[in-house]
Amino acid sequence: MHTLEKKSTKRAWSGAIAQPAAEFPPTELSIISGNIPEGLRGTLYRNGPARLERGDIHVGHWFDGDGAILAVNFNDSGATGVYRYVQTAGYQEEAAADKLLYGNYGMTAPGPIWNQWRRPVKNAANTSVLALPDKLLALWEGDNPYALDLQTLETRGLDNLGALDKGLPYSAHPKIDYQTREIFNFGVSPGPSAKLNVYKSNFTGKIVQKAEFKLEGFPAIHDFVLAGQYLVFFAPAVRVNVWPILFGASSYSDSLQWHPEVGTQILVIDRENLSLVSRGQTEPWFQWHFANGYVDASGTVIVDIARYRDFQTNQYLKEVATGETHTPAKSTLTRVHLHPDTGKVTVIQELIDRHCEFPSVPQQNVGQASRYTYMSSFRQESDIAQEILNTIARFDSQTETFTEADLGENRYCSEPIHVQDAQNQEQSWVITIVYDGNSDSSEVWVFDSDRLDETPVCKLGLPSVIPHSFHGTWKPN
């Protein structure tokens, strides 16, 4: 009697994470089509979880994978790529043991219960990057960042930016005001009585000012926004049940609970002296990411977010690590109007009914009004419960138009990075890393920002598959 093999329902995107990523040294990238624009000069950095297993053990959540950095430098002679894992202490220890030893966002430490206290959490350094004048920071929101060499990506070690206590979180979403050259960031100190730590740095990354604020419960805060003279935090209606984590009985992810009754808590902070301006509360939602914020002519703070109606997104992202998803989680680009002096929300407006994630604006517009918002999305025909992000798009708030790129079947993009042309201020580009599930390969695609729906101006081949990543940045030459 023949047994019937179960047919795999995995989609093409799963190929990118089917095995740990392979590093490659500085390598000249081949041009597949088009030409590198003359005004595109600088380095794209991207970070994401590149190893989701070790010693036949899989991680518990996509957020648990070891971080690896891709750098693509565009110069007068072409483009060069390099890809390296961040050599965190936990990564090196697990590599030597050839097995997972630590707990993380979606898993407790493997083995006996006492491992939960000996090795509670590993700094995965896998979420984002901050390019400073003399170093690159690999960011992960549960600890100090790791510093790397800007060119070679060699890991230098943990960096406290001159003021962070050991283990104090420095989030993966700093905001840079490119006019004042100030950098703002935060970290949430865990515990039954959690604290929001807010940091102001100069352009070298050195922290020059700190403040802390008590939070109601232990909310899950992943991002915030710079809006004119304010820093605005939306604490979603998700609370951490901290005791099972402290006793090693549950992972952080499994201890997150949706509590719509508490609503969305709002903190408005003055960027100059880091003092609290107001606290407010509004209806419940969840957001991982903010697109941008600004203050309009009436003094109202305008904040754009990728808004989910609930917290199903966490389950979906957990499933990504298995290579097969089935939980729908849709977010839309949503605009929130609030009075900074009171924290009162007056308007919540959905800007477009298309999925939106990883939203951003051109670097020079951070904290100011921006006509264009760039984002990752799904193609119209996609089953969002089973696919991952497979198009990039631009929303024009002036004309209310949504322009998307057509990557073709079984191709999956990273977060779009907007780049200003170095020679022509009227010209800009959008760069994304594309995993092609048809050929099991990765490429760099460069689009004209005003022609996202046309053929890329350039495609470059990468030496090995780059797993789906989270966040990146651009550093001009």
Q: What is the domain-level CATH number for residue 472?
A: 2.140.10
In a domain, 66, yes or no: yes
Strand arrangement, sheet containing 344-355: 286-295, 301-308, 331-339, 344-355
SS3 347: strand
Nearest of 317, 266, 288 to residue 106 by alpha carbon: 317
In a domain, 7, yes or no: no
Residues 6+ apart with CB under 8 A from 337: 300, 301, 302, 345, 346, 347, 348, 349
**Number of domains into which the chain is organized:** 1
In a domain, 435, yes or no: yes
In a domain, 263, yes or no: yes
In a domain, 237, yes or no: yes
- Residue 93: its H or E element: helix 89-97
- Residue 92: its H or E element: helix 89-97
SS3 88: coil
What is the distance, to the nearest Å, from the Cα of residue 53 to the centroid of all Cα atoms in its chain? 21
Nearest of 12, 23, 39 to residue 429 by alpha carbon: 39
SS3 7: coil
Q: Which two tokens stand for residue 437?
A: 């599930």
In a domain, 1, yes or no: no
**Contact of 251 with 122, CB cutoff 8 Å:** no
| Residue 285 to residue 329: CA distance in whole angstroms | 12
| Residue 124 to residue 146: CA distance in whole angstroms | 10
Output the pLDDT for position 2: 41
Domain residues for the domain of 423 are 12-476
| Residue 375 to residue 475: CA distance in whole angstroms | 19
Q: Which two tokens stand for residue 57?
A: 């053990």
Output the pLDDT for position 191: 74
Cβ atoms within 10 Å of 162's Cβ, excluding its own:
12
In a domain, 6, yes or no: no
- Residue 118: its H or E element: helix 115-118
Output the pLDDT for position 5: 43
> Phi and psi for 95 in degrees, rounded to 5?
-65, -40
Nearest of 118, 338, 305 to residue 221 by alpha carbon: 305
* Entry pTM: 0.96
**Contact of 446 with 427, CB cutoff 8 Å:** no
In a domain, 135, yes or no: yes
Query: Which conformational region is residue 64 in: left (phi greater than 0), alpha (psi within -120 to 50 degrees), or beta?
Result: alpha
Output the pLDDT for position 326: 97
Output the pLDDT for position 416: 98
Q: Which two tokens stand for residue 367?
A: 């904290």
Residues 6+ apart with CB under 8 A from 117: 248
Nearest of 119, 126, 82 to residue 103 by alpha carbon: 119
Q: Distances from the Cα of 107 to the Cαs of 98, 100, 121, 233, in angstroms?
A: 18, 10, 9, 27
Show pLDDT as tens, one digit a residue, over the chain (477 residues). Answer: 344 444 567 999 999 999 999 999 999 999 999 999 999 999 999 999 999 999 989 999 999 999 999 999 999 999 999 999 999 999 999 999 999 999 899 998 887 665 665 667 899 999 999 999 999 999 999 999 999 999 999 999 999 999 999 999 999 999 999 999 999 999 999 877 799 999 999 999 999 999 999 998 889 999 999 999 999 999 999 998 877 776 777 888 999 999 999 999 999 999 999 999 999 999 999 999 999 999 999 999 999 999 999 999 999 999 999 999 999 999 999 999 999 999 999 999 999 999 999 999 999 999 999 999 999 999 999 999 999 999 999 999 999 999 999 999 999 999 999 999 999 999 999 999 999 999 999 999 999 999 999 999 999 999 999 999 999 999 999
Q: Which two tokens stand for residue 296?
A: 């309009």
